Structure 1
Amino acid sequence: MYRLISGLAVSLLLAGCGGGDGGSDFSKTTTDAQRTCPQNMECGFLSVPKDYSNLNDGNIDVYYGVRRANIPSQRLGILVFNFGGPGASAVNGAGSMAANRLPNDILNRFDIVGMDPRGAGRSEYAKELTQCAENGNCDNEYATFSQYVGSNSVVKDLDQLRQKFGDDYLNFIGYSYGTRLGSLYAQQFPEHVRAIVLDSSMPPNAENYLQLRLGNTKGYDTVANYRLENTSRMSKFETVVDTINASSYYVDTKNKTFSKYESDSTLNRLVSRQSYNEWAPISDGLFKFLKDDDATDLQTALSQPISRMSENFSSSYSRSDALFGAVICTDELSPISTNEVLRSDFMKESKLFGHYQYEQNASLCADWPNSRDSVANIENMEQKLAGQRILIIGGQYDPATPYAWTESMRQQFGNLASLITVNNYVDHGFSFDGNTCIDNPTTQYLLNPEIPVGNINCDGSIQTKSAMYSSGIASEDDIHPAKRVRGF
């Protein structure tokens, strides 16, 4: 049985929390489509081929929502959002972006569109995945339709959406896993690309889940080095973690026992995103522990409730986890076996996080028994596109999608890509979150993609909209949708 992601492993995987599906049932009627639609959007279902390699196999329905351009006479086309996962719905998120975040220059000239990928929100297979996730076993569902929810199918659905709106070209903003969709669209439909923003990139050439997790583990080390500030703290924490991995606990000079659960919680919060304020409350206690070998203050801090807004594990979260496994394993280009997982060396990537990552996240797709629809590597895109420019955004200390992945994606688009690098900020998903250094050139690019943005460095420590939300100034619904997504 393929396990669903749970417990502390979920927190390390989080690109956010929240992001409900919208709607309590999965009816495909026009009335129900509009009933669950954001107030600022019109919603409906798009009929698409179930299997693009066998058009005789019938059609399925995917759910979408659109907020029409303010000035139809100046309309540039649809601007489609995907907020990551895989597993996240997009209709509500797109409505939230239009209501709270996008500048008038964008709202005036684009139809803002969200499309729930297959298995997400109200689209096909979401009902089945919700039910099996609640039961804790989706093996039968995976065997039946997992090959139809992979990224290749979703990318083709995006092109069907483009055609529905009568546009020759697609404008797309993908966050995290959404960058896989955006880059695949550019690869498969280069002649229909107008503007694509890839924010917090997935790697362009990771061929299986094991490679993704090894890269993630190395990225955590980058974040830990930044936050711990000096090598002596890093070295001491590695010693503590090594001891716990060997004996399940560590005893400090005060004869206090520091447990594996406390260690895992500390690792989790060490690489948590700044917008949820989980790191600051434990930082002083951890620094004291690493300096004086006294865990008292850290244990006290860990025992306090996390200030993050409600992280309840509802059916939509379980469904998201189930879809995560189906898509990631279906997408694999080079399948892995359990023996390959056993031979993997996570400790080479990080002495601090290697054991935990191996234990929690290494084996999800090993010996996957179901059909695949493997995605191709993204490479040599400068030769495949006809001069269309791409905007890539990445955080130097992004804990979910390491900056090394952004650099790899940038390399594959060559001179057609502009790169915005976000420094001094441990977070994920950056555009249209209130930092004008990022938002202004992103807006400029979407309006005039033929004009190069250039390579820009932005200080992410400037207060952003999401940074205010951890202190309770606004509701969870106002947090950037890309920060409320489980997975990548």
Structure 2
Amino acid sequence: MYRLISGLAVSLLLAGCGGGDGGSDFSKTTTDAQRTCPPTMECGFLSVPKDYSNLNDGNIDVYYGVHRANIPSQRLGILVFNFGGPGASAVNGANSMAVNRLPNDILNRFDIVGMDPRGSGRSQYAEELTKCAENRNCDNEYATFSQYVGSNSVVKDLDQLRQKFGDDKLNFIGYSYGTRLGSLYAQQFPEHVRAIVLDSSMSPNTENYLQLRLGNTKGFDTVANYRLVEASRMNQFETVIDSVNTPNGYFDKKANRFSKYESDSTLNRLVSRQSYNEWAPISDGLFKFLKDDDATDLRVALSQPISRMSEKLSSYYSRSDALFRAVICTDELSPINMNEAIISEPRFMKESKLFGHYQYKQNASLCADWPNYRDSVANIENMEQKLAGQRILIIGGQYDPATPYAWTESMHQQFGNLASLITVNNYVDHGFSFDGNTCIDNPTTQYLLNPEIPVPNITCDGSTQSKSATYSSGIASEDDIHPAKRVRGF
């Protein structure tokens, strides 16, 4: 089982952050599409080829929803959102963006569209993955259809969606894993790109899941150094973690054992997103522990309850986890075997003395010896040569705990002079555009309206982020939470 460290919210996550999967009814009738549709949207099913390499293999249905442009006579096209994962649906999230976040300048000119990728929401294979995830074994399902849910298929579905709406060009905003889809679309359909925003970029050139998690592990150290402030704290915590992972464990000066569970919980919260509000409650206790070798206050802080996900969301996240594995492993370009995974711990430790052991245990073997067909994604490279002058906007956080800023820099490099870069500083979080920071939102809006006009490379202070609520008080209103911040995975 993969686990993206982002506070205990990863395994326990949170109530009130629904994924828009439409419940347990997966019927594909037009009536059911509208019955589960958000009130401000029109919804339907798009028939697409099951296997784009064999068009005789029949079609499947992909669910979508559209919030129509306020001024149809000034319409610029569809603006499609993907909020990450892989595993997240998008219809309800796109509706939330339209109702609560997007400025009128965008709503007037664009049809706002969410498409549930294969295996998510109400799209094909979601029902099968939901059932097998509840039974904790999706091996048969993976063998049957995992090669049809990979990113290459979803990107081609996006182009089918563009054609359905009669647009020659696509406008797309991808968060996190959604940046893989957006960059792949630019690579595969460069002539149909109008505007693409890549927010919190995935790495454009990692070839398997192990490489992704190694990069992710290194990124955690960047966040930890930022939050611990002083190098002495970082060094001391590395010493503690090193002892925790030995048979003898670690005991503070009061001879109280700092357990593996407490250690993992602290690591989770150290790199948790600010919107989860799990770092601040333990920071003073951790600082005291690292200074005085007394874990009493930290232990008390860790014992305080955090939000728990509801029973309904438990089913949703189980399905999301199952789809995550199917997509990530299907996408791999250079797969590894189990032996390579087993011997990879030194590579994790090289990236981070703090997080290496934990990340190795949680993530190294997820796709090792994957027995099913793959549909490998190509590396994103030399995009300046592949696009015909279409400009791209890239947004990344220097202290993003989910997709490290190094990935944003790498993505920016692959698009060269065609890409503008907005860097977000002083903010440990993930998913930044249309979240209440005018330094980010205004140039993003201007880019979408006029993508031919270059956006200057700028740095924005993320501490002024004003729109998102946090999960600190238990059940948060779905309207208060940016859809990209509700997603498990990347």
Given candidates 458, 481, 488, the residue that maps to 2:483 is: 481
Q: Which residue of 2 aligns with 1:415?
A: 417
Q: Distance in 1 between matches of 2:13 and 2:71?
A: 34
Q: Which residue of 2 aligns with 1:362?
A: 364
Say whether residues 1:214 and 2:219 are aligned partners.
no
TM-score by length of 1: 0.96
Q: Which residue of 2 aligns with 1:396?
A: 398
What is the Cα deviation at residue 19 of structure 1? 2.2
For residues 233-275 of structure 1, what are the alpha-carbon distances to aligned partners after superposition, in whole Å with 9 as ceiling and x for unaligned?
0011101100010126311001111100000000000000001
Q: Distance in 2 between matches of 1:15 and 1:177?
A: 19
Q: Is the 8 A contact 2:469 2:480 kept in 1?
A: no
Q: Distance in 2 between matches of 1:106 and 1:434?
A: 15
Q: Is the 8 A contact 2:435 2:465 kept in 1?
A: no
Q: Distance in 2 between matches of 1:363 and 1:309?
A: 26
Q: Distance in 2 between matches of 1:383 and 1:51?
A: 29
Q: How does 1:80-95 map to 2 (within 5 A)?
A: 80-95=80-95
Q: How does 1:339-358 map to 2 (within 5 A)?
A: 339-344=339-344, 345-358=347-360
Q: Which residue of 1 aligns with 2:456?
A: 454
Q: Is the 8 A contact 2:88 2:487 kept in 1?
A: yes
Q: Distance in 2 between matches of 1:120 and 1:48?
A: 15
What's the secondary structure of 1:79's corresponding residue? Answer: strand
Q: Distance in 2 between matches of 1:422 and 1:308?
A: 29
What is the Cα deviation at residue 24 of structure 1? 2.6
The alpha-carbon distance between structure 1 residues 339 and 9, as it changes in their structure 2 partners (threshold 3 A), is: farther
The alpha-carbon distance between structure 1 residues 311 and 473, as it changes in their structure 2 partners (threshold 3 A), is: closer
The alpha-carbon distance between structure 1 residues 28 and 307, as it changes in their structure 2 partners (threshold 3 A), is: closer
Say whether residues 1:74 and 2:74 are aligned partners.
yes
Q: Which residue of 1 aligns with 2:187?
A: 187
What letter corresponds to residue 190 of structure 2 in structure 1? Answer: P
Q: Distance in 1 between matches of 2:465 and 2:134?
A: 38
The alpha-carbon distance between structure 1 residues 48 and 147, as it changes in their structure 2 partners (threshold 3 A), is: same
Q: Distance in 2 between matches of 1:13 and 1:109?
A: 40
What's the secondary structure of 1:275's corresponding residue? Answer: helix
Q: Is the 8 A contact 2:173 2:199 kept in 1?
A: yes
Q: Is the 8 A contact 2:272 2:278 kept in 1?
A: yes
Number of equivalent positions: 486
What's the secondary structure of 2:427's corresponding residue? Answer: coil
Given candidates 359, 370, 373, the residue that maps to 1:371 is: 373
What's the secondary structure of 1:205's corresponding residue? Answer: coil
Q: Could you tell which deviates more after superposition, 283-292 or 477-486?
A: 477-486
Say whether residues 1:382 and 2:384 are aligned partners.
yes
- Residue identity over aligned pairs, in percent, reads 87
Q: Which residue of 1 aligns with 2:298?
A: 298
Q: Could you tell which deviates more after superposition, 473-482 or 84-93?
A: 473-482
What letter corresponds to residue 23 of structure 1 in structure 2? Answer: G
What's the secondary structure of 1:46's corresponding residue? Answer: strand
For residues 411-432 of structure 1, what are the alpha-carbon distances to aligned partners after superposition, in whole Å with 9 as ceiling and x for unaligned?
0000000000000000000000
Q: Which residue of 1 aligns with 2:45?
A: 45
Q: Which residue of 2 aligns with 1:128?
A: 128
Q: Which residue of 1 aligns with 2:175?
A: 175
What is the Cα deviation at residue 454 of structure 1? 1.0
What's the secondary structure of 1:452's corresponding residue? Answer: coil
What letter corresponds to residue 459 of structure 1 in structure 2? Answer: D
For residues 173-231 of structure 1, what are the alpha-carbon distances to aligned partners after superposition, in whole Å with 9 as ceiling and x for unaligned?
00000000000000000000000000000000010000000000000000000000011
Q: Is the 8 A contact 2:13 2:308 kept in 1?
A: no
Q: Is the 8 A contact 2:215 2:404 kept in 1?
A: yes
Q: Distance in 2 between matches of 1:407 and 1:445?
A: 19
Q: Distance in 2 between matches of 1:266 and 1:313?
A: 25
CA-based RMSD: 1.9
What's the secondary structure of 1:128's corresponding residue? Answer: helix
Q: Distance in 2 between matches of 1:473 and 1:28?
A: 31
Q: How does 1:421-460 map to 2 (within 5 A)?
A: 421-460=423-462
Q: How does 1:4-153 map to 2 (within 5 A)?
A: 11=9, 18-153=18-153
For residues 117-146 of structure 1, what are the alpha-carbon distances to aligned partners after superposition, in whole Å with 9 as ceiling and x for unaligned?
000000000000000000000000000000
Q: Distance in 2 between matches of 1:187 and 1:4?
A: 28
Q: Could you tell which deviates more after superposition, 330-339 or 6-15?
A: 6-15
Q: Could you tell which deviates more after superposition, 16-25 or 151-160?
A: 16-25
Q: Is the 8 A contact 1:275 1:469 kept in 2?
A: yes
Q: Distance in 1 between matches of 2:268 and 2:233?
A: 17
Q: Is the 8 A contact 1:421 1:457 kept in 2?
A: yes
What is the Cα deviation at residue 4 of structure 1? 6.9
**Unaligned stretches of 5+ in structure 1?**
none
Q: How does 1:239-254 map to 2 (within 5 A)?
A: 239-247=239-247, 249-254=249-254
